[in-house]
């Protein structure tokens, strides 16, 4: 399945009748380097482990809270030089990431219940492979705006446009 959305937007395809989908076994990494979180946006599947790595000779911290929450941290840990901290994200949603030591360091994590999540290219194109036929919701998150469209996947090639209103 291919489509077009707002450039660099987050696009998620979720079944309307979700089943249990095992998270990928691979660990993702969010590095602290040059007083920045790399990448600044991390997509994870529910149950996936993220390693927060400090790749420089400087003390950092990792404070993660649920977006829209009362800013009560999910966790807040110091990351010593060249150390790391792992966390399994079991609840879907957006998470804000910050370093209390360096206020300019910010990142965002989106945890989804589906393996079908991506960041659209600069021209807005995106694609998903191995999508089982069925009913889905296609969601685009872009600069504080969320657009949701119902999608029926039949197995035939399809292009979905979600960038419009």
Residue 163 is given by DSSP the state: S
pLDDT at 143 over 90: no
Of the candidates 71, 95, 112, which is a domain's last residue? 112
Query: Are 57 and 104 in a shared domain?
Result: yes
Query: Are 77 and 28 in a shared domain?
Result: yes
Q: How much is the pTM? A: 0.90
Tell me the CATH number at 86: 2.60.40.420
Q: Quick one: CA dihedral 102, 90, 116, 143, positive or negative?
A: negative
Query: Are 41 and 107 in a shared domain?
Result: yes
Please state the rounded mean pLDDT for residues 59-76.
Answer: 87
Assign residue 11 a region (left: φ > 0; alpha: ψ between -120 and 50; beta: otherwise).
beta
Query: Are 4 and 66 in a shared domain?
Result: no
pLDDT at 97 over 50: yes
Please state the rounded mean pLDDT for residues 48-65.
Answer: 97
Percentage of residues of the chain with pLDDT beyond 90: 76
Query: Are 27 and 43 in a shared domain?
Result: yes
Gap between the terminal Cα atoms of the chain: 21
Query: Are 90 and 134 in a shared domain?
Result: no
Task: Dig out the tokens for 98 from the structure.
Answer: 């910050």
Three-class SS state of 106: strand
Mean pLDDT of the chain: 92
- Regarding beta strands 145-153 and 134-142, do their DSSP bridges make them parallel or antiparallel, or are they unpaired? antiparallel
Confidence category of residue 165, pLDDT binned at 50, 70, 90: very low
pLDDT at 92 over 90: yes
């Amino acid at each position: 399945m291919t489509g077009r959305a707002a450039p660099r937007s987050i696009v998620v395809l979720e079944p309307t009748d979700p089943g249990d989908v095992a998270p990928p076994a691979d660990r993702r990494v969010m590095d602290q380097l040059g007083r920045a979180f790399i990448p600044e946006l991390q997509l994870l599947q529910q149950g996936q482990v993220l390693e927060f790595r400090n790749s420089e000779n400087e003390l950092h911290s990792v404070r993660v809270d649920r977006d829209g929450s009362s800013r009560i941290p999910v966790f807040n840990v110091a990351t010593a030089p060249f150390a790391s901290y792992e966390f399994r994200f079991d609840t879907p949603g957006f998470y804000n990431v910050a370093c209390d030591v360096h206020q300019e360091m910010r990142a965002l994590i989106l945890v989804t219940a589906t393996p079908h999540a991506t960041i659209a290219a600069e021209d807005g194109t995106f694609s998903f492979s191995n999508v089982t036929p069925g009913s889905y919701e296609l969601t685009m998150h872009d600069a504080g705006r969320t657009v949701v469209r119902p999608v029926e996947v039949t197995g035939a090639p399809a292009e979905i446009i979600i960038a419009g209103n």
